[in-house]
Amino acid sequence: MKNSKATMSEYVDWRGDLSFKVDKLNEVDCLIFATLAYIDYDLSEFSSTANLASAPTLAQVYCDVKNVKCFGSMFLPLLKKCALSQRFKDTKVMYHKSIIDLEEQTQFSATTFVLPSSEIVVAFRGTDDSLVGWQEDFNMAVGTIPAHKHARRYLCDIADSIADSPIYVVGHSKGGNLAVWASAHLYDIYSNRLKKVFDFDGPGFYGDFTESDEYRAIIDKTTKYVVDASIIGMLLSSSTQQIVVESIKHNSMLQHMTNTWNVLGTKLCRLKERSSRGLNSQAVIEELIESLSCEERKQFTLLLAEIVSSSNIQNFSELKSIDNIPQFFESIKNSASSEEDKKFAQSIIKRVLVIIKNQTLSLTGIEELKEKGIEKLSAGRSGLEELKEKGLNTLSKIQKKK
């Protein structure tokens, strides 16, 4: 497996016999912990404790949650492999916290993993299957969200409860955003213990946060990973180093899922650059967001929330089903409660279509210029050959006259 591509699950098969004391924590391990943050540990005894001594191991936790049906159930096979491996089984699981607040429009969850080698990995969960979680994601386009404050408090609490140990902060999707925000706002007395921040395809930030001293203080410790056709990871502003990761899928939303990411040895497979398709998607999203004023972003957020709630869809996975997609798009056209909102929704759709059209024209123009340039170059070369041939003929005639 060292010299061949694999998934993180296959990585556990290959690396699972080596403890963290023998082979230190790496970026693939951190991706695994960011993924395991989606598991619902609420039913595992003592997993919510902030006391390290009484915290259960990953092996014990698996026995408690293996039959739980929830959004994170798709990652139970990965949890099982980890729980049975020498590398992960003795990792302690503690201070699992989950908050769903419909009134505050907040979905927050985090879990801390403490390795036998004493490192602390704080993992923030990304958006789960709840609609309030996706509504909170829309709110990111307006500014700071309540989950940011929960994340900061959580990270500071962990740093305070486990003294001296080095801290790694990880998160996927919205969890990556929370990981960066919380790390930037970690109390100064703990900053020396912060070793690395791993942002796995998380959205950026609205406003001037990326220009702040707090953000700049952690840039050198932060690495952001985006997939080739990334949409979520390219939203809003980010100044951190970006690594493009290869996925086994072509669909942009499926690429976002960590179980599709390619692993090579102890690293994620890198791509030199993103594809034109990925860059085009990014350009459309960036241009749309930039074209909206702060008030328009707020109106757009409220409108999306209203559309989702009025469509009688209970969770996000239903939006991906064949039966509900037409219903969802019908809601976009018809669910706005006022004429003003309907006009606004129509203006957003028109704006997106104009952006795509302009982008298509721009790309077509570039291709035409390329084509014409090649034709001119070809014509130029033909002309040179013709002149050369004429010159040689003339030279030959002169020589004959002599």
Contact (CB, 8 A) for 175 and 34: yes
Domain range list for the chain: 5-276, 282-381
pLDDT of residue 245: 93
Q: What is the mean pLDDT of residues 162-185?
A: 94
Which of 82-96, 213-227, 253-267 bottoms out in mean pLDDT, i.e. has the lowest? 253-267
pLDDT of residue 231: 66
pLDDT of residue 319: 45
pLDDT tops 60 at residue 366: no
CATH architecture of the domain with residue range 5-276: 3-Layer(aba) Sandwich (3.40)
pLDDT tops 90 at residue 317: no
C-alpha to C-alpha distances, 119 to 30, 87, 92, nearest whole angstrom: 12, 13, 11
Q: Is the dihedral of CA 288, 291, 293, 299 positive or negative?
A: negative
DSSP class per residue in 94-112: EEEEEEEETTTTEEEEEEE
pLDDT of residue 314: 45
Q: Which residues of 338-376 are buried (b: 16+ CB within 10 A; e: fewer)?
A: eeebeeebeebeeeeeebeeeeeeeeeeeeeeeeeeeee
For 218, other C-beta atoms within 10 Å of its C-beta total 19
pLDDT band at 395 (very low <50, low <70, confident <90, very high): very low
pLDDT tops 50 at residue 397: no
pLDDT tops 80 at residue 354: no
pLDDT band at 341 (very low <50, low <70, confident <90, very high): confident
Enclosing H/E stretch for 390: helix 339-401
pLDDT of residue 197: 97
pLDDT of residue 182: 96
Q: What percent of the chain is modeled with pLDDT above 90? A: 42
Mind listing the pLDDT tens digit for each residue in 242-271?
A: 899 999 887 666 788 899 999 999 999 999
Backbone angles phi, psi at 281, to 5 degrees: -60, -45
Q: What is the mean pLDDT of residues 172-178?
A: 91
Of residues 302 and 198, more confidently modeled: 198
Of residues 329 and 62, more confidently modeled: 62
Q: What is the mean pLDDT of residues 331-356?
A: 69
Could you tell me the pTM of the whole model? 0.76
**Mean pLDDT, rounded, of the chain:** 78
106 forms bridges with which residues in the sheet? Answer: 101
pLDDT tops 80 at residue 162: yes
Dist CA 223 CA 241 (whole Å)? 6
Contact (CB, 8 A) for 122 and 137: no
pLDDT of residue 290: 75
Dist CA 396 CA 399 (whole Å)? 5
pLDDT tops 90 at residue 55: yes
